[in-house]
Amino acid sequence: MSASASPFMTFLWPNMLWAMLAVPALVALYVFLVTRRKKTTLRYANLGLVREALGRGGAWRRHVPPVLMLLAISALLFAASRPAALITLPSAQETIVLAMDVSGSMRAADVLPSRLVASQEAAKSFVADLPRNVKVAVVSFAGTAAVVQAPTLSRDDVNASIDRFQLQRGTAIGSGIVLSLATIFPEAGIDLSQITGARAMPPGPNDKPPPDFKPVAPGSYSSAAIILLTDGQRTTGPDSLEAAKMAADRGVRIYTVGIGTKEGETIGFEGWSMRVRLDEETLKAVAKLTNADYFYAGTAQDLKKVYQGLSTRLIVEKKETEISGLLALIGAALVVLAAGLSVWWFGRVA
Mean pLDDT comparison of 46-60, 85-99, 170-184, 252-266, highest-scoring range = 170-184
> What mean pLDDT comes out for the span 158-183?
94
Can you give the length of the chain in residues?
Answer: 350
Q: How far apart are CA 177 and CA 183, in angstroms?
A: 10
At residue 3, the pLDDT reads 45
Please say if the pLDDT value at position 291 is more than 90: yes
Over residues 83-98, mean pLDDT: 76
**φ/ψ (deg, to 5) at 182:** -65, -30
In terms of average pLDDT, the best of 130-134, 139-143, 208-212, 307-311 is: 139-143
Q: Please say if the pLDDT value at position 242 is more than 90.
A: yes
Least confident interval from 51-65, 82-96, 172-186, 281-295: 51-65
- More confident call, 240 vs 191: 240
Q: Is the pLDDT of residue 283 over 90?
A: yes
In contact, 69 and 334? CB cutoff 8 Å? yes
Stretch 298-327: mean pLDDT, rounded? 80
- Which has the closest alpha carbon to 227: 109, 139, 124, 332? 139
Helix ranges (DSSP H) in the chain: 22-41, 47-54, 58-61, 64-79, 115-129, 155-163, 173-184, 193-196, 240-249, 280-289, 300-315, 324-346
Q: Express the helix, strand and coil content of the chain in percent, nearest 5 each.
A: 45, 20, 35
Q: What is the pLDDT of residue 4?
A: 44
Strands, E, within 142-241: which ranges? Answer: 145-152, 224-230
What was the pLDDT predicted at 89? 57
CA 181 to chain centre: 19
- Output the pLDDT for position 29: 85
- Range of 245-254, 277-286, 312-321 with top mean pLDDT: 245-254
CA pair distance 80, 12, nearest whole angstrom: 9
Mean pLDDT confidence for 326-348? 84
Enclosing H/E stretch for 43? none
What is the C-alpha to C-alpha distance for residues 118 and 312, in angstroms, rounded to an integer? 20
- Asked if pLDDT for residue 348 goes beyond 50, the answer is yes
Higher pLDDT, 9 or 134: 134
Whether residue 265 is predicted with pLDDT greater than 60 in this model: the reply is yes
Checking if the pLDDT of 255 tops 70, the result is yes
Surface-to-core class of residue 59, CB atoms within 10 Å of its CB (0-12 exposed, 13-18 middle, 19+ buried): exposed
Asked whether the beta carbons of 22 and 10 are under 8 A apart, the reply is no
Average of per-residue pLDDT across 224-251: 93
pLDDT of residue 1: 40
Give the separation between CA 134 and CA 147, rounded to whole angstroms.
Answer: 18
Q: Is pLDDT at 17 greater than 50 in this prediction?
A: yes
pLDDT at 190 over 50: yes
pLDDT > 50? residue 104: yes
Higher pLDDT, 92 or 21: 21
What is the per-residue pLDDT for 317?
59
Q: 107 by DSSP, 3-state: which?
A: helix
Numbers of helices and strands, H then E, in the chain? 12, 12
Which pLDDT score, from 0 to 100, does residue 180 have? Answer: 96
Whether the predicted pLDDT of 84 surpasses 90: no
For 118-164, the pLDDT digits (tens) are: 999 999 999 998 888 899 999 999 999 999 999 999 999 999 999 99
Is-above-0.75 flag for pTM?
no
User: Is residue 185 helix, strand or coil?
Assistant: coil
Rounded to whole angstroms, what are the CA distances from 101 to 64, 75, 111, 290?
66, 53, 15, 19
